Structure 1
Amino acid sequence: MLAVEGLTCRFGTKAAVDNANYTIAPGAFVGVIGRSGAGKSTMLRMINRLAEPTAGRIMFDGLDVTALKGRELRQWRARSAMIFQQFNLVGRLDVLTNVLMGRLSGMPQWRSLTQMWPDEDRALAMSALEQFDMAQYASQRADQLSGGQQQRVAIARALVQQPDLILADEPIASLDPRNTRIVMDALLRINKHFGITVMCNLHSLDLARTYCDRLIGMSAGRVVFDGAPAQLTEHIARELYDLEADEVMGSTPIHAPVGARVPEYGAAAVA
Structure 2
Amino acid sequence: MLVVEGLTCRFGTKAAVDNASFSIAPGTFVGVIGRSGAGKSTLLRMINRLAEPTSGRILFEGTDVTALRGKALRQWRARSAMIFQQFNLVGRLDVLTNVLMGRLAQIPSWRSLAQVWPEQDRALAMSALEQFDIAQFAAQRADQLSGGQQQRVAIARALVQEPDIILADEPIASLDPRNTKIVMDALLRINKHFGITVLCNLHSLDLARTYCDRLVGMAAGRVVFDGAPAALTDHIARELYDLEANDVIGAAPLPAPDGATVPALGSVAAA
Task: Report the TM-score, using the length of structure 2 for normalisation.
Answer: 0.95
Unpaired segments ≥5 residues, structure 1:
266-271
SS of residue paired to 2:173: coil
Maintained 8 Å contact 2:40/2:218: yes
| Separation of aligned partners in 2, 1:149 and 1:250 | 29
Partner of 2:85: 85
SS of residue paired to 1:239: helix
- Structure 1 residue 250 displacement after superposition: 4.0
Maintained 8 Å contact 1:206/1:255: no
Unpaired segments ≥5 residues, structure 2:
263-271
| Separation of aligned partners in 1, 2:57 and 2:28 | 21
| Separation of aligned partners in 2, 1:102 and 1:13 | 36
Partner of 1:216: 216
Maintained 8 Å contact 1:35/1:241: yes
Partner of 1:144: 144
Partner of 1:182: 182
SS of residue paired to 1:200: strand
Partner of 2:267: none
Maintained 8 Å contact 2:185/2:258: no
Partner of 2:235: 235
Partner of 2:266: none
Summarize deviations over 1:20-39 as a string: whole Å, max 9, x none.
Answer: 00000000000000000000
Task: Report the TM-score, using the length of structure 1 for normalisation.
Answer: 0.95
| Separation of aligned partners in 2, 1:33 and 1:198 | 14
- Structure 1 residue 253 displacement after superposition: 4.0
Partner of 2:268: none
| Separation of aligned partners in 1, 2:245 and 2:178 | 23
SS of residue paired to 1:49: coil
Give the alignment partner of residue 262 of structure 1, picking from 256, 259, 263.
259
SS of residue paired to 1:20: strand
SS of residue paired to 1:151: helix
Partner of 1:105: 105
RMSD value, Cα: 1.1
**Quick one: structure 1 residues 242 and 150, their matched pair in 2 at CA, closer, same or farther if it must change by over 3 Å?**
same
Code of the aligned partner of 1:139: A
- Structure 1 residue 249 displacement after superposition: 1.9
Code of the aligned partner of 2:129: L
- Using the aligned pairs only, state the percent identity: 83
**Quick one: structure 1 residues 252 and 112, their matched pair in 2 at CA, closer, same or farther if it must change by over 3 Å?**
farther
SS of residue paired to 1:180: helix
| Separation of aligned partners in 2, 1:170 and 1:3 | 22
